[in-house]
A and B are shown apart, each in its own frame.
Chain A
Amino acid sequence: MSATLEALSQNLHKHLGDRLRSLNVALDEITIEVDPADYLSVMQTLRRERELGFEELIDLCGVDYSAYGNVPRQGKRFAAVSHLLSIANNWRLRVRCFCDDDAFPSVPSVTSIWNVADWFEREAFDLFGIVFPGHHDLRRILTDYGFIGHPFRKDFPLSGYVEMRYDPEQQRVVYQPVTIEPRETTPRIVREATYGKAENA
């Protein structure tokens, strides 16, 4: 672990204490996990504490872990993952917060801490159906007006449910059930860890 990452992880332990559920270092990046109940206060600390100094929220996105590793998921399904950047200290951090309820995923909004979160949270709501209490204007952003469902969830088919066409009789655009079927050319494969090792042959 490089000196910067060492310093960052020490500062994280010092300022977050037991609000830190876990801290992981991999590929020169630090990932921390926090509970939804602590999420807002942790984010505030990360922004305000000078020894952490994360002035910028670079990215916030939803992740649906329900099909991870091609096995049925044990544990929580949805997470909100944010990437933070400190310009003063020149380091980055990834914060993951799993949503408690799979049926109604919800994470507090961080728009009051970083205004940029506005559209990122709208996007996560639109695509994954994660709700952000505290967001002042949680509308769909990328999908069509009147779209039903959350398309990036793993149980949403790639081809969708409806398609759009122009109807010459009604002289307007109408929706109809999709006429295409998803086609998989390369199957999705997760190999066991020992695959291809000579000693297992």
Chain B
Amino acid sequence: MNLWDAHPGLPPQHIKSGLHRRDFMKVITLAAASVGLTSSAAMRIAEAAFKGMKPSVIWLHFQECTGCTESLLRTAHPALSELILDLVSLDYHETLFAAAGYQAEAALKSAMAQNAGKYVCIVEGAIPTKDGGIYCKIGGRTAMDILQDVAGKAGAVIAIGSCASWGGVPSADPNPTGATGAPQLLPGKTVVTIPGCPANPYNLLGVVLQYATLGTLPALDSQGRPLFAYTRTIHEDCPRRAHFDAGRFAERFGDEGHRQGYCLYKIGCKGPETHANCSLQGFGEVGSWPIGIGHPCFGCTEQKLAFRVPLHQTVKIDRPMPPDTYPPIHADHNHISPLATGLAGVAGGALLTAGYLASKKIGASPATPDDTPGARLPAQGE
């Protein structure tokens, strides 16, 4: 049963706008599945979209490369960018805005006023805090000021990308601008972080859709990352995992193992410590991601790894798993050869004999200067 049969009253405006019904349902279902929602929830999402219950989204740009926005725009389904525009009401986005200057700032103010306490604030980019935050200003206001103002009145705050999540590239040593992430500047407020460099757009879509339809945020880990996407490590679901288990590694770039598509662990893959769903939910659904093109994962979703640990340094395996080899029925318990046993026996015997002789000498010497013990016994008896 499809949506149109169930709700014949719904205006098929999306068909008019060139978006095909099937594409639409496909993307909705995929997005719902990625946040762990059932297909019936997908129907509710679709209904909400059709009824025009579109949440207002205010997108803030700070210290960043706009890569997260770019990756969002370059998803493989041709309809996705339209969906973003159709499913949410994107009221302020500096990259995608037609308006500029005072017009843009006026749009921000009116969106904040109209949807106060309800809108979704998405933060992209780190916020510089050094010297009063003067290193990033928009319309004469510092990034710190804008963030406090916009995020403070939002219904939900989402930090997209590693920069907004904890500081990302701008916060790498020596961090000249004192860059930091949105959660650090919004204590006491729930900030959903979707780290990644760039972040996987589906993870953002899932969070926004859940908030739009159910009014809730997904379950988060200790760093504010949605559990539906950041529970498992790259290593656990890696397409090259079988090579790791079999001990087949690329030892250096371009070697035979690298050409064969072997595991990239030894050339610095951070997969074993990186929590993200890249290996399951492809970027733009085409499977192009570091490990897919033969480069080790660099741990972009982990604050302790990305831009801190050198690219080709190996990481410790936290939860080692069995390799795909097997111990034999009778384990080899380092058998001791008969020769070794014999030699040890001879050595032990020599030591004992030496000890016995020495003790005899000690006992005998003070009694007589002549220390041949057998000599005096017969003399005494006679």
Is chain B found bound to chain A in the same assembly?
no
Chain B: residues with CB nearer than 8 A to chain A?
Answer: none
